[in-house]
Amino acid sequence: MTLLEPRIAPLATPTTPGPPPASGPIDPEIRADVDKYRQQYARFLASELSDEVFRVYRLTNGIYGQRQGGTNQMVRVKVPYGSIRPDQLEMIGWLVDTYSRGWGHITTRQNIQFHFVQLDQIPSVLEHLAAVGLTTREACGDTVRNVQGCHLAGACPHEEVDITPWAEATYRHFVRNPISQRLPRKFKINFSGCETDCGQAMFNDVGVIGVVRHTDDGTVERGFRVFIAGGLGTTPHPALALEDFTPREELLPTIEACLRVFDQAGNRDNKLRARMKWLVDTLGFEEVQRRVLTQRKFLVASTSWPGGNPAEVQIDGDDPAGVRDPAAVTAIGHGTPVSIGTGTAYERWERVNVVRGVRDGTVSVYGQAHLGDITGDQFRALAALQRDLDADVRLTNRQNVVFRGLHPDDLPAVYDRLDAIGMARPGAELARDVVACPGSDTCNLAVTQSRGLGDAIGERLEDEGLADVGGIRINISGCPNSCGQHHASDIGFFGAERRAHGRSAPGYQMLLGGYIGQEQMHFGDKALRLPARNAPEATARVIRRFIEERRASEGFRDWMERAGGARAVAEGLKDLDEFPAFEADPSFYVDFDETGPYTVSTGASECAT
């Protein structure tokens, strides 16, 4: 790629959308999906489809019921490996203003979802998404979910393989594929281009990491290490290496073989024990490994055999981005020590939100989406910026947006444009960048307002001067199911009901020391339970102690273990696990973002349907 001249126009003032954005012809496969949805919805309205059957169909098409019940629906839009175009950003901005509540949400699996869409509006929403090549197909349900990939793939100075075309080929192979429609449970696939594992391959049903090996003749061969049976949820499992090295031409057959073994042997009687991780617990890893490799060996006889290098790789190539100047390479990954330091707002942003070092001299820039939320105006402004830059844009699994392939001279103007829409805070993906699931705002399973706690922690860290601390990740889930990936963060919380003085109160379990990287997965260890109101103070205390005691370049988990482990660190927080009497401080009995007394109200989860 040749560096271009700076090419950014001033930011235009966003306007309230009128008609939908202009769009092109609709992909025939997506058109067929939309038409079929209209037909099945009409059958449901005519009582020709039962609630149960339509619910399964609706979920397979990415439409998910909310805790508010009635006709309120969440729409989950599939964004494979987070790659998104400006016309798609514009359309989603228009949709969230027209059909939702003015903002959408980036998920930890690189989807975009928006809420409070009425059931009778879904066909129109699907039609508009289709007009820009977006689909909700298999974003929910017992299917192959959104294929994730490292958000810096193809623009990372550390990568061994550009996994972009591989993730695209995997998505295309499995979407609408008959073998991936009615699985025992959902199936998740993730790609990372190197052992830094920014894609988080280590807790997926299939996780793929780009590696190289040196052959006997002295040449270097690029390929993959495939990990299987990872998962979070209430019982987390680290992924296990299927084999030392998987050649490139064997990658898609390996993934399909994993899926086939899961489809054949997964538990269809108990969905709570139906993921790939439970298959390993039931059969043993060696037996699962044997079945997968046997399936792969004979898969060539199948009409679905995806062997060889797929067309996407042949056309686009998968060479790594390469390094221009090793001394200027930006360190990345979980636990990377970062110092934002002093200086102007721009200098602080440029120091930590920019990734440098790729061979062609371009840079990548993070724009922070607070708690993963983006308004309609922000969507439109991001689309305009992407067009002006002619940039590649990806959504990250920490709920941010990254612009790639930028000319370094464009950085001041990029900062101004992001700052104008509130997305230029320095430290995207650092301590202040709290990740949270939607929580009890919309989810049937959640028992706490995880988003409210995320706001409260962020405000507390800003007030304490701790928000600029690097090398710390904070994740929050509204229940133990880990949609907020609390197991995989340095400081994690999941919501739980507490009882105090005869009343229900919102609470959290605090975990410490979660880590993912270098082909390792350490799940956070339980520290202590806390009233929700005390979780921000607990977070501040732990971070303050970490920065006071850590050694040079010491990561959070290493410090924690040197300090005696999570339970020892929790000893300094025990005074926070106390509820005052209701009369003394009623705020402890009201959840964040709520006004009335806390009550637990959960419903039947469509996650397990």
Mean pLDDT computed over every residue of the chain: 93
Tens-digit pLDDT profile for residues 349-402: 998 899 999 999 999 999 999 999 999 999 999 999 999 999 999 999 999 999
Q: Are residues 461 and 591 in the same domain?
A: yes
Q: Tell me whether residue 360 is in a domain.
A: no
Instruction: Please count the structural domains in the chain.
Output: 3
The 8-class DSSP code of residue 243 comes to -
pLDDT for 336 equals 81
Q: Tell me whether residue 535 is in a domain.
A: yes
Q: Are residues 138 and 200 in the same domain?
A: no
Q: Mean pLDDT lowest for which of 207-216, 336-345, 555-564?
A: 336-345
Residue 12 has pLDDT above 70, yes or no: no
Tens-digit pLDDT profile for residues 94-116: 999 999 999 999 999 999 999 99
pLDDT for 4 equals 38
What's the CA gap between 261 and 145, in Å, rounded?
Answer: 17
- Residues spanned by the domain of 32: 1-142+367-425
- CATH, residue 495: 3.30.413.10
Tens-digit pLDDT profile for residues 260-278: 999 999 999 998 899 999 9
Tens-digit pLDDT profile for residues 575-589: 999 999 999 999 999
Q: Are residues 406 and 523 in the same domain?
A: no
pTM for this predicted structure: 0.94
Tens-digit pLDDT profile for residues 492-539: 999 999 999 999 999 999 999 999 999 999 999 999 999 999 999 999
Q: Are residues 380 and 455 in the same domain?
A: no
Q: Tell me whether residue 339 is in a domain.
A: no
Q: Tell me whether residue 321 is in a domain.
A: no
Q: Are residues 450 and 570 in the same domain?
A: yes
pLDDT for 310 equals 96
Q: Are residues 275 and 172 in the same domain?
A: yes
The dihedrals phi and psi of 120, each to the nearest 5 degrees, come to -75, -10
What's the CA gap between 91 and 35, in Å, rounded?
Answer: 20
Q: Are residues 375 and 479 in the same domain?
A: no
Q: Tell me whether residue 147 is in a domain.
A: no
Residue 3 has pLDDT above 80, yes or no: no
pLDDT for 339 equals 67
What's the CA gap between 243 and 366, in Å, rounded?
Answer: 35
Produce one character per residue of 337-370: b if its CB has 16 or more CB atoms within 10 Å, e if not: ebebeeeeeeebbbbbbbbebbeeebbbbbbbbb
Q: Are residues 421 and 443 in the same domain?
A: no
pLDDT for 128 equals 97
Q: Tell me whether residue 356 is in a domain.
A: no
Q: Are residues 418 and 567 in the same domain?
A: no
Beta partners for residue 496, in sequence order = 507
Q: Tell me whether residue 240 is in a domain.
A: yes
